[in-house]
């Protein structure tokens, strides 16, 4: 066998195998290496010599490159024509899941074609040739026809690939939210290591700004997803659901904010008191006679309104997660280990919410039991660190289990057709195709609904730890005392502020003004803000999932 013959057989094999979609990467690599070895051997053994062998190698490589380019172009042409065909046939077109999930073995279901539905329903095509030259045309409209609902349709499955995920409407939002949060976490870890080794005193923590930007990005994505339910007349039920849940969360937040911190230690009252005292002192040093920046009633009502908006954002993500939770339990029958972690991830936000209830959390773990002379299970600082660690563990567990939840959502496509068998009557072919294709095309939005609330909880916890003066190792109150330790002279930086206009440069004036603001927005204030935000996000994860379970149970019973 000559090298040229091997190359021709290779070309024929490639043409006979069809597109690369039917060959795996390993098969294509092995086939290419095998032919190159044959070419090299023929080049070294026949009279043509090494030069001919190298030429043949470059010819094969060049042919493979050109073939790959042509086949890639052909794949894109087929994909565009398929999208156009589906759009013309009434199927809304998008693609979807995330690149990160393409390597976890996710499988999607392909909607049945018109020919497959005709064969299952026993519909015969009637053709005629029009007058003059022309192609045969179907007497009936080929794009719309009725089939019985009780057809037993077994859908074909294909793996989700990364080439399919870059055209979905919400893919850029997902990409930015996840990637930016990942970079923020990397910067946060590097900053924490740096602060643990060097312990700088007057340096600005850059990771806080990254976490704040990531938090704003995740909230904006949740806002965009919620805004979908307020557009058009087709989503009146979802819109009413958002309004009802927002009103309920507003009432619940106002009730929670009047609970004493002896029962629920969210730190809002102590944060307001510290902010009020320091702000009043700062205003007095500026010559302004003021009793404080705002009353406690206005501050708490503003916080309650923000909580209501956040609860509205979490409503449908919670319902979606609850549906995927029950579906994932159904599909992992017999896998007790996996079922344990899925149940734990679902119930863990409720357990973390109870850790902020003082009689259940701190009194149980960090106080000496009444009537005993023993030691508490842990110190107050260790208990604070435990809450940080459990929140991180909950987030990591949710992220690890994300492929199972998404696969449970994808399996709904076949379940819908199985439920349709129980119905009587007929249905359009396009309705069946929409029902199946809509599951896959909605996958990126589902991924956002799953991951965005979890990232919000994570970012609030990280800022709660950093800005609140917390510690990962248990030295909580020591760091708080170091942050809020008063000046030995008995004066605050704000007391020197009026003298700086005449005797100090503008840069020092700005530095002292910034130090004064740090006295106003101290660790106690940030601990109250982000401590309550962390607890409220955990509560929303649990509450929205519980509402979703009740809602789905009601629909199932109905």
Q: Is the CA virtual torsion 251, 254, 260, 266 positive or negative?
A: positive
Residue 308 counted as domain residue: yes
pLDDT at 101: 55
pLDDT at 529: 93
Which residues does the chain have with pLDDT short of 70?
A: 1-104, 124-142, 288-293, 368-374, 475-513, 557-558
- Shared domain check, 296 and 200: yes
- Shared domain check, 185 and 36: no
- Shared domain check, 79 and 228: no
Structure tokens at 177: 């939210």
- Shared domain check, 201 and 59: no
pLDDT at 31: 53
Distance in angstroms (rounded) separating the CA atoms of residues 379 and 366? 5
Burial of 448: CB neighbours in 10 Å, binned 0-12, 13-18, 19+: buried
Distance in angstroms (rounded) separating the CA atoms of residues 378 and 314? 34
- Shared domain check, 338 and 236: yes
φ/ψ bin of 463: left (φ > 0), alpha (ψ from -120 to 50), beta (otherwise): alpha
Residue 129 counted as domain residue: no
The pLDDT tens digits of the residues spanning 395-452 come to: 999 999 999 999 999 988 888 888 888 888 888 888 888 888 888 888 889 999 999 9
Residue 107 counted as domain residue: no
Residue 99 counted as domain residue: no
Burial of 131: CB neighbours in 10 Å, binned 0-12, 13-18, 19+: exposed
pLDDT at 119: 82
Structure tokens at 90: 């009434």
Structure tokens at 226: 């919620």
- Shared domain check, 518 and 402: yes
Backbone angles phi, psi at 138, to 5 degrees: -80, 135
pLDDT at 557: 65
- Shared domain check, 68 and 173: no
Distance in angstroms (rounded) separating the CA atoms of residues 152 and 441? 23
**Into how many domains does the chain fold?**
2
- Shared domain check, 407 and 521: yes
Distance in angstroms (rounded) separating the CA atoms of residues 294 and 7? 82
CB 428 within 8 A of CB 146: yes
- Shared domain check, 185 and 70: no
pLDDT at 182: 94
- Shared domain check, 187 and 73: no
- Whole-model pTM: value is 0.73
- Shared domain check, 209 and 61: no
Residue 127 counted as domain residue: no
Domain end residue (candidates: 39, 72, 88) = 88
Residue 466 counted as domain residue: yes
- Identify which of 466, 452, 465, 540 has the alpha carbon closest to the alpha carbon of residue 216: 452
Distance in angstroms (rounded) separating the CA atoms of residues 332 and 324? 12
Residue 177 counted as domain residue: yes
pLDDT at 35: 52
Domain end residue (candidates: 88, 110, 137) = 88
Q: Which domain holds residue 189?
A: 162-557
Residue 444 counted as domain residue: yes
Three-state DSSP class for residue 152: coil
Domain end residue (candidates: 39, 64, 88) = 88
Distance in angstroms (rounded) separating the CA atoms of residues 558 and 554? 6
How far, rounded to the nearest angstrom, does the alpha carbon of residue 526 sit from its chain's CA centroid? 26
Q: Residue 311: how many CB atoms within 10 A of its CB?
A: 25
CB 18 within 8 A of CB 70: no
pLDDT at 369: 65
Total residue length of the chain = 558
């Amino acid at each position: 066998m000559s090298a040229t013959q091997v190359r021709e057989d290779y070309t024929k094999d490639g043409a006979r195998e069809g597109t690369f979609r039917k060959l795996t990467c390993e098969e294509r690599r092995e086939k290419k290496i095998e032919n190159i070895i044959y070419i090299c051997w023929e080049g070294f053994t026949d009279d043509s010599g090494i030069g001919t062998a190298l030429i043949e190698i470059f010819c094969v490589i060049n042919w493979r490159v050109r073939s790959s380019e042509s086949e890639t172009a052909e794949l894109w042409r087929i994909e565009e024509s398929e999208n156009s065909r589906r759009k013309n046939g009434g199927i809304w077109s998008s693609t979807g899941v995330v690149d990160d999930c393409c390597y976890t073995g996710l499988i999607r279901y392909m909607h049945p074609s018109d020919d497959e539905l005709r064969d299952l329903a026993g519909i015969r095509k009637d053709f005629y040739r029009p007058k003059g030259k022309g192609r045969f045309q179907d007497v009936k409209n080929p794009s719309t026809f009725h089939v019985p609902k009780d057809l037993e349709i077994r859908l074909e499955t294909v793996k989700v690939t990364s080439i399919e995920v870059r055209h979905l409407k919400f893919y850029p939002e997902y990409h930015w939210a996840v990637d930016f949060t990942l970079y923020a976490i990397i910067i946060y870890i590097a900053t924490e290591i740096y602060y643990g080794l060097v312990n700088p005193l007057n340096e600005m923590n850059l990771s806080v700004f990254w976490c704040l930007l990531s938090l704003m990005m995740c909230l904006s994505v949740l806002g965009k997803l919620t805004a979908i339910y307020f557009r058009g007349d087709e989503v009146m039920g979802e819109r009413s659901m958002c309004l009802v849940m927002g009103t309920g969360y507003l009432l619940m937040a106002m009730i929670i904010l009047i609970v004493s911190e002896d029962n629920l230690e969210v730190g809002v009252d102590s944060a307001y008191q510290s902010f009020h005292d320091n702000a009043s002192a700062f205003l007095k040093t500026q010559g302004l006679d003021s009793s404080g920046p705002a009353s406690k009633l206005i501050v708490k009502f503003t916080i309650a309104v923000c909580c209501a908006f956040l609860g509205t954002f979490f409503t449908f993500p919670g319902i979606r997660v609850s549906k995927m939770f029950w579906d994932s339990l159904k599909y992992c029958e017999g896998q007790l280990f996996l079922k344990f972690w899925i149940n734990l991830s679902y119930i863990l936000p409720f357990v973390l919410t109870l850790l902020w209830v003082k009689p259940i959390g701190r009194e149980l773990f960090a106080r000496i039991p009444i009537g005993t002379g023993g030691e508490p299970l842990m110190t107050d600082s260790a208990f604070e660190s435990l809450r940080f660690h459990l929140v991180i563990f909950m987030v990591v567990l949710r992220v690890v289990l994300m492929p199972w939840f998404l696969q449970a959502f994808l399996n709904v496509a076949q379940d819908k057709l199985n439920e349709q068998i129980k119905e009587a009557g007929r249905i359009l072919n396009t309705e069946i195709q929409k029902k199946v294709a809509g599951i896959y095309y909605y996958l990126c939005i589902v991924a956002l609904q799953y991951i965005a609330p979890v990232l919000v909880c994570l970012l609030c916890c990280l800022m709660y730890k950093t800005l609140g003066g917390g510690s990962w190792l248990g030295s909580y109150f020591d760091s708080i005392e170091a942050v809020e330790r008063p000046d030995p002279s008995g004066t605050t930086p704000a007391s020197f502020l009026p003298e700086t206009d005449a005797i100090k440069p503008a840069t020092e004036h700005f530095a002292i003004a910034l130090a004064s603001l740090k006295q106003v927005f101290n660790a106690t204030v940030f601990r109250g803000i982000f401590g309550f935000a962390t607890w409220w996000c955990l509560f929303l994860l649990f509450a929205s999932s519980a509402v979703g379970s009740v809602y789905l149970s009601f629909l199932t019973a109905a």
